Amino acid sequence: MWKKLLFFLFLCAAGLSPVWAAGSVDMQEGQWEITTRVEMPGIPVQIPPMTFSQCITQQDLVPKNEQPDNECTMTHNQIDDNTVVWSVVCKGEGGETRGDGQITYHGDHFEGSMQMSMPEGMTMTNHMSGKRIGPCR
């Protein structure tokens, strides 16, 4: 159950397609393999990392794994040098979830994290890493 909940929250948080207003990031466009590792205080079970692939472009810099029933809205986004920062609000049956994320690109790889605040005071951190694996499919 925890794995499904965490996966859903990550998808809600990152399942956005922003159009970035300015700047060009040191990122090679193409197909990327993205791995997320979740930390939740007070949860004794280690959640295995999740890996997915995505085409990343200069117009769509936030890693995501598409979710058709996504009810998330980006409330903030900016680019500072090679770091992409965003905030998001997701609405679901259990209430509202808020998240703040950032990733830093280094040409063919990136690292970053996203902090989520969920209903009833629960928090979660997603640690993300990605590497370019070829042209977009």
Domain 2-134 fold: Porin (2.40.160)
Question: How far apart, in whole angstroms, are the C-alpha atoms of residue 95 and residue 93?
Answer: 6
Cβ 71 vs Cβ 95: under 8 Å: no
pLDDT (tens digit per residue) in 43-93: 888 889 999 999 999 998 988 865 555 688 888 999 999 999 999 998 887
- Quote the CA–CA distance of 66 and 76 in Å, as a whole number: 20
Contact between 82 and 25 under an 8 Å Cβ cutoff? The reply is yes
Alpha-helix residue ranges (DSSP H) falling in the chain: 2-14
| 16-57 pLDDT, tens digit each | 444 444 458 999 999 999 999 999 998 888 889 999 999 999
CA distances from 89 to 16, 19, 100, 103, 117 (A): 11, 17, 9, 18, 10
Burial class (CB in 10 A: 0-12, 13-18, 19+), 76: exposed
Residue ranges of domains in the chain: 2-134
